[in-house]
């Protein structure tokens, strides 16, 4: 008799806990198309062999400066070619295989992130 009461009590607790006592809130349909990320950077192909392409979308940069560093932080000189506005190509074919870091600066202020790529 006691076990039947325990089972009934357990079932009652489960059914009560699955009920929602709070008032439901309607879904908000907000269009965020006007809030695009500033200075979105794409780096490809990664890993690379000869050239590394860099595309900076939605940019407000006036005169971007691209710098390459080896994995321990030493600055590396690479030839950079401007293909179009906010599209660049780095010649990395003479670099030894390994990981490298790219930063993009404008008037001395770096973009928030540092980007890693692998040279094969």
Question: How is domain 40-119 classified at the architecture level of CATH?
Answer: Sandwich (2.60)
pLDDT for res 39: 72
Give the list of residues 6+ apart from residue 102 with CB closer than 8 angstroms, or none: 43, 52, 54, 66, 67, 68, 69, 90, 114, 115, 116, 117
Cα 69 to the chain's mean position, in Å? Answer: 20
Domain ranges of the chain: 40-119
Using DSSP's 3-state secondary structure scheme, residue 31 falls into: coil
pLDDT for res 40: 85
pLDDT for res 100: 97
For 55-71, write each residue's pLDDT tens digit: 988 877 777 889 999 99
Below-70 pLDDT ranges, the chain? 1-38, 108, 110-112
d(CA 65, CA 47): 22
Q: Please choose, from the candidates 110, 113, 103, the residue with its C-alpha nearest in 3D space to the C-alpha of residue 80.
A: 103
pLDDT for res 108: 64
Write down the pTM of the prediction.
0.65
Cα 116 to the chain's mean position, in Å? Answer: 12
């Amino acid at each position: 008799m006691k076990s039947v009461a325990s089972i009934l009590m357990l079932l009652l607790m489960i059914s009560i806990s699955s009920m929602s006592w709070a008032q439901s809130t309607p879904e908000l349909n907000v269009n965020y198309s006007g809030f695009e990320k500033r200075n979105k950077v794409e780096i490809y192909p990664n890993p690379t062999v000869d050239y590394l392409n860099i595309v900076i979308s939605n940019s407000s940069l006036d005169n971007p400066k691209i710098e390459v560093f080896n994995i321990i932080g030493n600055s590396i000189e690479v030839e950079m070619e401007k293909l179009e506005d906010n599209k660049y190509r780095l010649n990395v074919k003479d670099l030894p295989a390994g990981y490298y870091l790219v930063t993009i600066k404008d008037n001395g202020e770096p973009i928030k992130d540092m980007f890693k790529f692998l040279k094969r």
